[in-house]
Amino acid sequence: MGKSLTRKIIESHYVSGSMIPGEEVFLYIDQTLTHDINAVMTYLAFEAIGLDRVRTECSVSYLDHNLLYVDHKTPDDHIYLQSAARRYGVYVSRPGNGICHAVHVARFGAPGKISMGGDSHTPHGGAIGMLCIGVGGMDVATAMTGVPMRLKMPRVVNVVLHGRLRPGVNAKEIILEMLRRVTIKGGLGNVYEYTGDGAAALEVPERATITNMGAEMGATTSIFPSDDAVRRFLRAQGRETDYRELLPDENAEYDEQIVINLDQLEPLAACPHQPDNVKPLREVEKKPVQQVFIGSCTNTSYADVAKAALVLQGRHVNETVSCTCAIASRQTYKALMHDGYIDMLMDAGLRMLEIACGPCCAIGQTPATEGIAVRTSNRNFKGRAGNPNAKIYLVSPESAAATAVMGTFASAEDILGANVAKLAGIREPEGYDQNDNMLIAPLPEEEAAQVEIVRGPNIRPLPVPEVPEQELHVPVSLKAGDNVSTDDITPASAEFSSMRSNIPMMSKFCYHRYDPEFAERAKAMGRSIIVGGENYGQGSSREHAAINPMYLGVKCVIAKSIARIHKGNLVNHGIIPMLFEDSADYERICQEDILEIHHLLDQIPEKRVIVHDVTQGFDFTVRLDLSENEIEVVLSGGQLRFLKKQLDG
């Protein structure tokens, strides 16, 4: 049997380990990326490791999420990040250049490379035949040292796309259909590799909508072949020399196959409060919509925004709707401006925002209480938009524009009728603005060594976890339900995002919206355990969802299942992730029960640990779904201690 594209790329970066799905493989990483609201911890960790310069082919620090500068915290972060980048040989993408994923695929990505990014939507770059993996910031710091990175060898699922999307139906519908079928946790351990005549007909930005939002399935990543569409995209970026054809073998072997007929897709919506709660848009109850946001890295390509503009052309945003647009990159914004689409949007009464993540991660444009927000972004968890009482629906840009006009859920066809066909004529430009003057290139090594790192008052030291002890006798500080997201653990919004460099301050808001008393309670307990349900820690790659509980004394998380990136973050930051062997035991444990573990350090290597619930008087078993390498990290007291031992030794 032939090889999948995923296998070919993994083989070309292989260092050691096993190529059997589920087992651990170690790979060279070519590129890394970070973004401003998570990266301070990453660069503090890199500083603590003690190397003089990054050892990747290219590492980029994007200043893109929080550009509001409402107080000193974000400028403190940006100045620190810029100086750390200059010191260690990292590119900086300045505020206003664009959102990390959109800029990275356009200006740095190349087929066949592997990148690791400190953001869960790093798989965006899979659109050009790269293997792009979202991880926590500590893993990015590790990748920057040039140390081969561990990866659980994925299962490779072949998604065969047939046919063509009808006008008014967007690539967003493909990934929403995938989410409907696979669900938010069904992708764990999988890479989704797209092929078929329908895949070949999609342009790179359409593919990126799919690979970007594949993160919502919990997948390791998603990837498209590097073919003519990729060549066209790179040529339009003035980078055709970076193109190389990369396809799966014709008789490639896959672990599973999914088939989607694109002609049969219709406009869809992910309804509150999960991205897999997908319905046909026509079936969504026609309630008044308070806010429409056309933005985010997921769905603001040139063609996306131009189509939305054509839906709005000659019409007006409904007077009951607040409608905004944030385009993902400066080059796309300029192309849309050049071709008159920004005028169309503004003439329709839509408000243009900065080129930044902004509202996607609750930095501005919070919906009203109980307000219905319709967004083109990728997540609709409670509180994702900054107000846990709001209801977020995820749709395509065409549907969002139609909804803005109607004031309730509508598709492009509802507005344009037979004229919806004109949307099919929109194509990506043949050339983009290639001015990289908002990228700062790394300094030569000697000059870089002289750079002083600037630490404003918001830059606080990186907390380092304790080494685990043999005996644990601690209370349960929280019994959480299913699908707790990293947004639940560390809330998003301008206020909280800018605290991420200051753990003593931010930890006070740990689980703030989920259980406002958690932080006080955990702190008073000193050391504790969190008990969770299914899919614990889903969502973003935010390692603060591990650092804050660690800082508050949490030693273990015992859950029915734990999301991939969050599990890695727990390991890296010294919290032991444990899984109930029998999920029914979850029901028997109460918050504040005392749990006891004897001989913990001896039990960890066995990957099975007996826990005694002193309060309820019963024993239960937990599994450690950890590789040998992760076990060593856990026993070392986190990745920083482990890595320093390795590099020093």
Interaction between residue 119 and ligand SF4 (CB under 6 A): yes
> Which amino acid belongs to residue 430?
E
Distance CA 486, CA 533 (A): 14
CB of 298 to ligand SF4, least distance (A): 6
Residue list 94-113, contact with ligand SF4 (CB under 6 A): 99-101
- Of residues 389-428, which lie at the interface with ligand SF4 (CB under 6 A)? none
* Closer Cβ to ligand SF4, 27 or 360, answer by number: 360
Look at residue 447 and give its three-state secondary structure. Answer: helix
Task: Convert 265-296 into a string of H (helix), E (strand) and C (coil).
Answer: CCCEEECCCCCCCEEEHHHCCCCCCCEEEEEC
Does 297 participate in binding ligand SF4 (rule CB under 6 A)?
yes
User: What's the closest the beta carbon of residue 363 comes to ligand SF4, in angstroms?
Assistant: 8
- Calculate the CA 189 to chain-centre distance: 16
Is 492 buried (19+), middle (13-18) or exposed (0-12) by CB count in 10 A? Answer: buried
279 closest CA partner among 363, 395, 385: 395
The backbone torsions φ and ψ at residue 133, rounded to the nearest 5 degrees and listed phi first, read -125, 130
- Fill in the amino acid letter for 145: T
- Residues 400, 405, 406, 411: is their CA dihedral positive or negative? negative
**In this complex, which beta carbon is closest to ligand SF4, that of residue 327 or of residue 410?**
327
CA distance 484 to 462: 25
Which residues does 466 contact at the CB level (< 8 Å), separation at least 6?
Answer: 574, 637
Task: State the DSSP code for 365.
Answer: -
Q: At what angle do helices 397-406 and 302-312 cross, to 10 degrees?
A: 20
CB nearer ligand SF4, residue 64 or residue 413: 64
In the complex, the smallest distance separating the C-beta of residue 58 from ligand SF4, rounded to whole angstroms, is 19
H/E run at residue 604: none
**Which residue, 100 or 372, has its beta carbon nearer to ligand SF4?**
100
Q: Which two tokens stand for residue 628?
A: 């040998």
Residue 563 or residue 579: which is nearer to ligand SF4 going by CB? 563
Q: Site map for ligand SF4, 56-95, x if CB under 6 A?
A: ---------x------------------------------
Q: Does 296 bind ligand SF4 (CB under 6 A)?
A: yes
Q: Give the x/- contact pattern for ligand SF4 in 343-382, rule: CB under 6 A.
A: --------------x--xx---------------xx----
Q: How far is the CB of 208 from ligand SF4 (least distance, A)?
A: 11
Closer residue to ligand SF4, CB minimum distance, 360 or 529: 360
- Count of residues engaged in binding ligand SF4, rule: CB under 6 A: 13
The amino acid sitting at 118 is G
Segment 422 to 451, residues that bind ligand SF4, using CB under 6 A: none
Residue 62 CB, shortest distance to ligand SF4, in Å, is: 9
- The CB-of-456 to ligand SF4 minimum distance in angstroms stands at 23
Task: Between 336 and 634, name the residue whose CB sits nearer to ligand SF4.
Answer: 336
Give the binding site for ligand SF4 (CB under 6 A): 65, 99-101, 119, 121, 296-297, 357, 360-361, 377-378
